Amino acid sequence: MFVSFRMALAVMMPFVLFLLFLMGSSEGQLQVGFYSNTCPEVDSVVRAVVRDAVLSDPNMAAVLLRLHFHDCFVEGCDGSILIDNGPQSERHAFGHQGVRGFEVIERAKTQLEGSCPGVVSCADIVTLAARDAIVMANGPAYQVPTGRRDGMLSNLSLADDMPDVSDSIDLLKTKFLNKGLTVKDLVLLSGAHTIGTTACFFMTRRLYKFFPGGGGSDPAISPKFLAELKARCPENGDVNVRLAIDEGSEHKFDKNILKNIREGFAVLESDARLNDDIATKNVIDSYFSPFGPFFEPSFEADFVDSFVKMGQIGVKTGFLGEVRRVCSAFN
């Protein structure tokens, strides 16, 4: 029996090794130029669709950045937020309130399906669209690795742990750490608020119900700015009124958002909290050297590093997941 077992093992070994090879290759790796042979027009198609969308709606650049962030923080960067198969779909989660841009992704997908069907994943389109949106906002151009597959799961309960504007700084740090992101990543990714707007709906607590038991405003708000915010978002007023998140620089990608946070001009509560914590405050301060800009790290370059890192959270590659034909529905 021992001899038979050894002979059987010798016969099976090549097959076992082949299976291990397949398992390893099924996980795959993201890489720049993943579609260079199978769909070389992917970059130009997505870029053109994003350009048209941003020209029609200047706030769309920020919308596409937010869409990428929200996708990656639930089930990884797998396009799960795009699925719309009923009220339990992830996109309807409370933590995804105000997220949009779905039609831009679908428009790019439709064009790509016409030229290279079944090749480019919706998850990669979301990632590429975010990159091109940054460029449209005068931000840095950069290369992004692709090769993601679309996920097979979408449920609103999975978005329960999305970072929220009213989270404490400790909770924000924990949520980012759980995704493999550092304190520096937290600051830099919050820097995406350098473009875009928010609604008064997200300001009510900070302006009028900040303290336990209700009442009062966040003391971190500059007194002059507090008056301006209350004028734009009066108590019991229209909660759908929108205001720039980065006061004075809402359409330009720059580090002005960090300057506003330092000086008490942060609009969002979560941004203001970055100036309360020593670790996150030190990161912010590092971009404002008293010796001048030549002694500061590049906010743009560091943002790109963190954004690309975020884009690799929980990705599915190789034989994992699928390439959807329509981004809003499983195949």
Sign of the C-alpha dihedral, residues 213, 214, 215, 221?
positive
80 is annotated as contributing to ligand binding: yes
Q: Which of 68, 70, 96, 251 is catalytic?
A: 70
Q: Rounded to the nearest 5°, which phi and psi values hold at 139?
A: -90, 180
Q: Is 70 a catalytic residue?
A: yes
246 is in an annotated binding site: yes
Task: Please check if 163 is assigned to a binding site.
Answer: yes
Residue 306 marked ligand-binding: no
Distance separating alpha carbons of residues 100 and 96, to the nearest angstrom:
9
Task: Check whether 170 is labelled as a binding-site residue.
Answer: no
Alpha-carbon distance 247 to 272, whole Å?
13
Q: Which residues pair with 243 in a beta bridge?
A: 198
Q: Is 90 annotated as a binding residue?
A: yes
46 is in an annotated binding site: no
What would the DSSP string read from start to end of 259-299?
HHHHTT--SSHHHHHTTTSHHHHHHHHTTS-TT-GGGS--H
Q: E-assigned strands of 166-307? A: 197-199, 242-244
Q: Tell me if 198 is assigned to a ligand binding site.
A: no
Feature table: binding site for heme b? 193
Please give the positions annotated as active site: 70
Feature table: binding site for substrate? 163
Feature table: binding site? 71, 74, 76, 78, 80, 90, 163, 193-194, 246, 254
Feature table: binding site for Ca(2+)? 71, 74, 76, 78, 80, 90, 194, 246, 254
